[in-house]
A and B are shown apart, each in its own frame.
Chain A
């Protein structure tokens, strides 16, 4: 059951990424390790950007902009297990020139396993100097 407040807002672009949980991603308790969720969430953000026409590798290598995580809130509701197929739904929940918040749901079928809010800022590479979110990224919000 997904509460209305957890769903993407009406009209938001939602990217969907399907990932099958690898054995390496689980722990001794046979559930997916909590840190793996963050890694999958990062993959989902990269895919979100790609689907919207913003290739993150090019953003870093050609334009010298990096998106650095400044806040991560993850609520674990249920444990994923080896070989589960997960769907990560990701959208931009809020944005201004200082930071961008990606919200995600992680689902196993219709079962909600995780909700997450990841906030990123922009740094100029290679010096990692904080700067405004580039217009090309801000335009996606």
Chain B
């Protein structure tokens, strides 16, 4: 899967989970009102969608859309 395609899918997932209209690139989640609970929910949905297992200590890396894309890309088979 192309990185840009993955980014758009994850943008939609994050927007749906957090009930935001849009998730702009480069905008910190905290500036969008996305808290640590929502970050875990994003991870839960990503795990469900891609059948991944993301360790607890990696959740704190989720601070913006870029970090979600990087995290998921690192877990998907190349």
A interface residues, Cβ below 8 angstroms from B? 70, 96-99, 121, 130-132
- 11 CB contacts below 8 A, A to B, read A70-B37, A98-B37, A98-B41, A98-B43, A98-B44, A121-B37, A130-B40, A131-B40, A132-B40, A132-B56, A132-B59
B22-46 vs A, CB cutoff 8 Å, 1 = contact: the mask equals 0000000000000011101101110
* Min distance, Cβ A23 to any Cβ of chain B, angstroms: 39
* Min distance, Cβ B77 to any Cβ of chain A, angstroms: 22
Note all chain B residues with C-beta closer than 8 A to A98: 37-38, 40-41, 43-44
Tally of chain B residues near chain A (CB < 8 A):
12
* Min distance, Cβ B36 to any Cβ of chain A, angstroms: 5
Question: In whole angstroms, how far apart are the Cα atoms of A70 and B38 in the complex?
Answer: 12
* Min distance, Cβ A32 to any Cβ of chain B, angstroms: 31
B16 at the interface (CB under 8 A from A): no
Q: Which of B54-70 contact A (CB under 8 A)?
A: 56, 59
Note all chain B residues with C-beta closer than 8 A to A96: 41, 44-45, 48
B interface residues, Cβ below 8 angstroms from A? 36-38, 40-41, 43-45, 47-48, 56, 59
- Most A Cβ at <10 Å: residue of B40, B43, B44, B48: B40
Question: In whole angstroms, how far apart are the Cα atoms of A131 and B48 in the complex?
Answer: 18
A124 nearest in chain B by CB position: B56
Note all chain B residues with C-beta closer than 8 A to A131: 40, 56, 59
The residue from B41, B43, B47 contacting A99, defined by CB atoms under 8 A apart: B41
Note all chain A residues with C-beta closer than 8 A to B37: 70, 98-99, 121, 130
Note all chain A residues with C-beta closer than 8 A to B41: 96, 98-99
* Min distance, Cβ B43 to any Cβ of chain A, angstroms: 7
